[in-house]
Structure 1
Amino acid sequence: MAAVADDVNPESFFHVALKVEDVDACAAFYREQFGAELLERGHAGDGEGATAVEHAALSVADKRVYLFDRAPYEAAGLTDDLPTGFLHFGFVVDDVEAAHRELAASGVEFLMEPSVFGDLKIAFFADPAGVRIELLEHR
C-alpha cells in the first residue's frame, strides 16, 4: 500500500453534500425523519461567487449533511450545471494549502483552488472516476 502524504492525510470524514431542488423541504425531511439538527441556513443573496448559494448544514448522527441549491463550484462558474443528488464528500485536513500543493505536485487537477467559505478554507478536486472531493480546514 502506498504511503499517504503527510499534508493530505485526512483527520476525519466530515460531510456529504447534496444538490436539492428545495433546501427547506429537504432540511425539514432530514429533521423529521432522522432527527437532524439544523446548524446553519444560508441564502444566496448573502454571498457572492462560490458563496452565492442557498444552503443548509445539518447534523445527522455523527456527520454533517449539506444541502445546496447549487454547488459552490457551480456558483463560481467552475463546472457546468450538475443534476440534483450527490455533489461531493469532504475530508478535514490540517492545512488545505499544504495538501493542495502536495496533490497538485502529484498531478491532481483541482476544480476549485483553496478559498475561504465561511469559517472554512476549502479546495475541490475529483478522483479518477470523477467523484468530487472537498478538502476543508477549520479556521
Structure 2
Amino acid sequence: MILNPDHVTIAVADAGRAIAFFALLGFRKDHVATIDGGAPARYMGIPGMKAQHITLVLEGANPPFEIQLLQFDPTAGTDLGAHPTNLRQRGFNHLAFRVDDIEAATAHLVANGVTLLSDEMDYISRKLRLFEGPEGITLELVQRGGSDASG
C-alpha cells in the first residue's frame, strides 16, 4: 500500500534560517507558494490561514523526498511547555536521515554550528546520532551497518 515517505511539513518562524539549515543536509529550494486563504487553507482546516509554503527537495533522492516549510503570517505562537527536543512527548518525535558516513556528516553539522543532542550510538546494526534542527525539532542521522552489525 504505502510506497515510501513523500514529505515532512515543519512550521517555522524564520524560513530563511530553516532553508539554510536544510541546505547543509543536501536540500535545495524548489518551489515557493503564498497561501492566503483559499483551498489550501481550507484543506488544512485553517480557513483564514496566511503563510509562505516553501518546498525543499533532497538532491538525488530516488524516490523523491521533500521538506515543506510553512512560515505563517503572523508567526504562529509557541507552546512554552515541553521543548520539542523532549523525546518523551506524544506526537511528533523525530525525523531520521540516512547517511553513508555518520562521522563525516556529524563533522559537517558541527562545523556549521548545529547542536548535537546525543553521542553516537550503535543500535540494531545502525550508527545513530541525534541533532537539533530548526524550531528545536529533533533530527537524526542513521548509518546502516553499525559496529554491532551481525551480518
Same fold (TM over 0.5): no
Q: TM-score, normalised by structure 1?
A: 0.43
TM-score by length of structure 2 reads: 0.40
Q: Higher helix proportion, which one?
A: 1
Q: Which structure's relative contact order is higher, taking Cα pairs within 8 Å and 6+ residues apart?
A: 1
